[in-house]
Amino acid sequence: MPKKITYTKDMNLLAVTPRWETKSLGVYFPVQLNTQKQLWVGGAFKAGPVLFGTHNFANIFSKNKMQAGGFYLALTIRPGKKNNQAGNQSSDKVSKKVNRSLQCPRF
């Protein structure tokens, strides 16, 4: 009986995603170079917990649909207690810009 061997294949060689986001809105422009030396430029939009976008704008605008990639839709759920990112300070003493900014969690 022959052995069944499964191989994995990496899709991306390099990916860079410039982005602009706040807690409730976001815009993303992923640029990817894959292993077949194809350059994909995509886009995504976040509104609240909903994120939708495409891996490659060429799928939308091109008559030839030969390139792979597709659309995605995600619902982001973050369970847990909401924290004031300014620490022990009250929210009325923290500027609106600091209160809206996204920070990495502290471990």
Q: What is the pLDDT along the chain (107 residues), one digit of tens a residue?
A: 677 877 777 677 888 999 999 888 999 999 988 888 888 899 999 999 999 998 888 877 777 665 566 788 999 887 876 655 545 545 555 565 555 556 666 66
Single out the residue of 10, 12, 45 nearest to residue 31, CA to CA.
12
Structure tokens at 52: 């939708």
SS3 12: strand
* Whole-number Å distance between alpha carbons of 18 and 81: 29
Per-residue pLDDT, 81: 64
Number of domains making up the chain: 1
Residue 96 lies in a domain: yes
Range of the domain at 64: 12-100
Residue 106 lies in a domain: no
* Whole-number Å distance between alpha carbons of 38 and 42: 13
